[in-house]
Structure 1
């Protein structure tokens, strides 16, 4: 049946095999089967993770005395006082300016690099892809610390170079500095989105334009950019959402420069005594509304992008010959790699080898040593934060991987009632900025009359990391689950295997690359995440990212650098190890065995 066929569809055949077994249960007794118990637990967990923090934050914004000693009542007073307060307009302007400019800059960089890799004959594409993606390994707080040292107004080595050339120094503690640092950090995400968009485009229109005498520049502007416009706008909106909720750049660069945005205002309100929970809730709801609108627009543009750029007949994606300019394309990747990776890591390594921070010079070579690395192991608090990060990262990764696998099975392989709603709930955290999620989780576990007190424990951090990572893990598992044919499960069922045996011996081996990708992503998020963790830790439950922030705030730059180098090395080994495992498992590994 074609898309234009108006005939009614043929009657559906009776359900047999797996389809019949995964449809709606026919009796209450069947609900006690392991299959339905597992799926029900997964559904409840997803709903709890997605809705409870958001609902608690909204509730707090509408209370006169949330977590106070007196009686509390419903009110809109928090909204009225927050919106009418002095400086709120400037706060909104700074936040939108910072996030908007960052979205534009990082999208231009990311899609420009993606176009060079996907649609041109730029040489050394393996290096080009690594150059664009390696910055993802460097945690945002380390990237921010490194650039704050590199462009320090007084002692930054790059500003020293600018002065020696007769140029004015760059003020890192400004909106421009915030935009620069954040853009370098999130450009790899825009690159991934751009690569997906350009790789799915049919190049026949571009070839026709070139054959008609149009110049390559005009073809790129009129044809390529027009086809990629929905994807570009969608990526820009997602970068806007991600930027407006990040903690490290606004706090480490914006606050010293007296440039305040939503995140820094939320943090200062919670650090005040007594904490201003109402204002925090109002700003959190405001950011949530903005992010939800942006996500809705982004998803709509993504659907338009898929409709306009993918054809079903004669599809091909060819590369454009840049001639001698192809070496300029390679130079662009080398420049980006130097700015995004080499300079920050070189600054961290240099600072980690000095007893006190000094700009790079020949005189300082005699002071180099490994004392800061030894100091890491002499400070029990730092060792404890590393242990906490490992525990929370591994725990979060295991939970997210298992939960996303079950939810992906439910949404893809079953006909159970409400599976579409469950898929939507699993996506909700994308629209909730990390800082809003952290505040919502904090509010819930402070106010809820739960039998177990979780605030101040590692469990609450695991809850936050699981909630933040789940939607992205689903992106790995759903496509992988869709590729597994139903016949495999039907054959296992016909052979007498239970559902748990089938899931363990059929789905898990075939999903291993997707499972490892989800596991790796969650591990990296748990080590990098600070926007939510900064509100949820207490004495004894610090993680590495929080320890780095505390050390930097106290002026211990060399120890921060040493800890950062160790963290980057560990994440690099982790990524390499998981990629190596991914090559040994999965469909190919199953076939070989």
Structure 2
């Protein structure tokens, strides 16, 4: 078989014009590359141009544009509120990132590098938390930390006073809730880094007399420093783009950040689109700069590699007598990140109105809110709309990025361009993309504003970079010889792509599809600007329910939706494993 493979490659070198296996650019591949370049360019370039053009346009009260102006940027430069908003954004994002890294990083190190108990509890915390809609999670913490919540209720009982220990409707409250919100993702990402750390260096430090604290500080954290720094930059960027916490906590508390300032400018009557666009361009540039530095940090990770081909064993760090303390830390984080929010949601879902947790209140518990959600046609429409746009975005994104990922990983012609085009939407915060797509839809010759298809179109742009990473990584795991053998047997490029590459790539594509589906189903920042009366989705409905004071129905809806998403994810993962077994035997 080896001789046959070598002979086949020799034939291909003779036949292909470029003389390079899979490097030559045939007609079908060139056409495919050009089509992808055009499609991706039509998706990602117009929103950027729209924002820039809108930020320099003189817009009248009726929405007409009369020419070029720098007034929007002059207003920003001379507006003291802009400096305050920018300061709030940086403090909010940086402080929340520190909390997420502290909680998630501590949990990751304990679970992956030590022999602590309750490891499964940590993964349960992360998975369930990531499956919970952000609106629901924020609302639960507003109840826990609110005036009628258990924290201030316990404080009044202990102090005998009538005040509050903690007010969540402040910048501090925003920071705390946002930090809790991202800690499960930090745990999952940091766990991968700590899992592959070489234990020999830690053991050598301990044998030379280093304490546990010194070993962690001088060895464990130093080796993981590039991963920690890159993750900190990533979470910082996502916190700047955050909308749920600033909208539910910051707007009522009159604490504005960039995302809420853009949102409020669009929601004014008449909409201040020029102001929103100039804010959006500033935010776009800020995110682009941060992503540039994030990429530079990530590329330096190999300098800190500690795993070689010689005797690597990922052994756990023996905590000895400190094991119960580590287990208690995991339990406390489990209570903070998952148990308390879920218990708060269950309590609010079973009570007719928001009330303190008391024995008297238990007499009013009922399933009325769950029955109302399950029997109302309105909620069924919300579910259908959400599933429709999420399936559309995930399916279309993986079809495009599956081809783009293969082209970028295997071909020279157009590969770099499609990779860059598919990655460009990373610079778009959700609220900024929403402003761009909103303006584009109002100027289209056909009516698309207020439909679910507009939301699906925006979701597609927003989540293409994630699909590209799944597809590109999946193609790199497939050896070129499989495709070479197919072409040596007489199959064309498209036949090889459809019969060989696509089936082998399906596990990566299915994983990317599931990821995009789950995050699209709870996206709020885009949908809140684009949803119309007949195109409401679950996340927007949750925000409306909270603003209308219907916390009971919101809690019931959120819990039912979370259960549905867990079921969908479980079924999809089962089908993915089954498909992988059938494909690879």
TM-score with structure 2 length normalisation?
Answer: 0.92
CA distance in 1, matches of 2:221, 2:56: 45
Correspondence for 1:330: 327
Q: Is residue 406 from structure 1 mapped to residue 406 from structure 2 by the alignment?
A: no
Given candidates 439, 443, 456, the residue that maps to 1:443 is: 439
Q: In 2, Cα distance between the equivalents of 1:334 and 1:264? A: 35
2:129 and 2:337 in contact (8 A); partners too? yes
**How far did 1:122 drift?**
2.0
In structure 1, the residue matched to 2:465 is 471
Checking the alignment, whether the CA contact within 8 Å between 1:476 and 1:518 is kept in structure 2 is yes
Q: CA deviation at 1:124?
A: 4.1
Q: How does 1:206-285 map to 2 (within 5 A)?
A: 206-285=202-281
1: distance between equivalents of 2:62 and 2:23?
48
Structure 2 residue corresponding to 1:569, chosen from 563, 572, 583 = 563
Deviation of 1:61 (Å): 0.8
Matched, 1:48 2:42: yes
Q: Which residue of 2 aligns with 1:9?
A: none
Structure 2 unaligned runs (5+)?
A: 1-11
Assess, with a 3 A threshold, how the Cα gap between structure 1 residues 69 and 164 changes in structure 2: closer, same or farther: closer
Aligned pairs for 1:89-104 (under 5 A) are 89-104=83-98
Match of 1:488 among 482, 486, 506: 482
Instruction: Work out which of the residue numbers 144, 150, 153 in structure 2 matches 1:150.
Output: 144
SS at match of 2:67: coil
**How far, CA to CA, are the matches of 2:575 and 2:329 in structure 1?**
32
**What is the distance in 1 between the residues matched to 2:405 and 2:15?**
21
- The Cα shift of 1:52 comes to 1.9
Whole-Å separation in 2 of the counterparts to 1:478 and 1:517:
13
Task: Please state how far the C-alpha of 1:487 moved relative to its aligned partner.
Answer: 2.1
Q: 1:460 maps to what in 2?
A: 454
**Retained in 1: the 8 A contact 2:57–2:65?**
no
Distance between the aligned counterparts of 1:474 and 1:289, measured in 2? 22
Change (3 A) 1:286 1:374: same
Q: C-alpha root-mean-square deviation of aligned residues, in Å? A: 2.3
Change in 2 beyond 3 A, CA 1:172/1:22: same
Deviations 1:383-414 (A, max 9, x none): 22211001111111111121121111111122
Over 3 Å counting, the alpha-carbon distance change for 1:461 and 1:70 in structure 2 is closer
Change (3 A) 1:159 1:15: farther
The aligned counterpart of 1:182 is: 178
Where does the alignment leave 5 or more consecutive residues of structure 1 unmatched? Answer: 1-12
Tell me the distance in 2 between the aligned counterparts of 1:421 and 1:39.
9
Superposed CA deviations along residues 426-448 of structure 1, whole A, max 9, x for unmatched, are 2222222121122122222223x
Separation in structure 1 between the aligned mates of residue 190 and residue 35 of structure 2, nearest angstrom: 37
Q: Map Cα deviations across residues 531-553 of structure 1 (whole Å, 9 max, x no partner).
A: 11111111111100001101111
Which of 533, 541, 550 in structure 1 is aligned with 2:535?
541
> Which whole-Å deviations, capped at 9, do the CAs of 1:186-231 have from their partners, x for residues lacking one?
1122223312322343333323222222212112112222222222
**Which deviations, in whole Å up to 9, do the C-alpha atoms of 1:64-123 show, x marking residues without a partner?**
127955442222211011221242221111111111101111112222211112221223
From 354, 358, 363, give the equivalent of 1:361.
358
| Whole-angstrom CA distance in 2 between matches of 1:19 and 1:112 | 53
Distance in 1, matches of 2:491 and 2:226, equals: 47
Change (3 A) 1:301 1:200: farther
Counterpart in the other structure of 1:293: 289
SS in 2 for 1:162: helix
* Alignment partner of 1:317 is 2:314: yes
In 2: Cα distance, 1:51 partner to 1:361 partner: 56
Counterpart check, 1:589 vs 2:585: no
Deviations 1:467-497 (A, max 9, x none): 2221112222222211112222233334444
Distance in 2, Cα, partners of 1:388 & 1:553: 21
Residues 132 and 333 in structure 1, CA contact (< 8 A), matched pair in contact too: no
Which of residues 297, 304, 309 in structure 1 aligns to 2:300?
Answer: 304
Quote the Cα distance in structure 1 between the aligned partners of 2:61 and 2:75: 19
Q: Distance in 1 between matches of 2:98 and 2:304?
A: 22
Q: Deviations over 1:225-250 (max 9, x none)?
A: 22222222221111111111121111
CA distance in 1, matches of 2:364, 2:65: 61
Judged with a 3 Å threshold, the aligned counterparts in structure 2 of structure 1 residues 46 and 15 are, in CA distance, closer, same or farther, namely farther
Q: Say whether the 8 Å CA contact 1:61–1:78 is kept in structure 2.
A: yes
> Map of 1:82-121 to 2, 5 A cutoff?
82-121=76-115
In 2, Cα distance between equivalents of 1:413 and 1:112: 40
CA spacing shift, 1:498–1:275, aligned 2, 3 Å: same
Q: Distance in 1 between matches of 2:129 and 2:184?
A: 7
Name the count of aligned residue pairs.
Answer: 569
Matched, 1:427 2:420: no
CA 1:87–1:591 in structure 2 vs 1: closer, same or farther (change >3 Å)?
closer
Cα gap change, 1:555 to 1:182, in 2 (>3 Å):
same
Q: Are 2:206 and 2:212, in contact at CA under 8 Å, matched by a contact in 1? A: yes
Aligned to 1:7: none
**What's the secondary structure of 2:59's corresponding residue?**
coil
Q: Quick one: distance in 2 between partners of 1:275 and 1:396?
A: 28
1:349 equivalent in structure 2: 346
Aligned residues of 2:33 and 2:415 also touching (Cα < 8 A): no
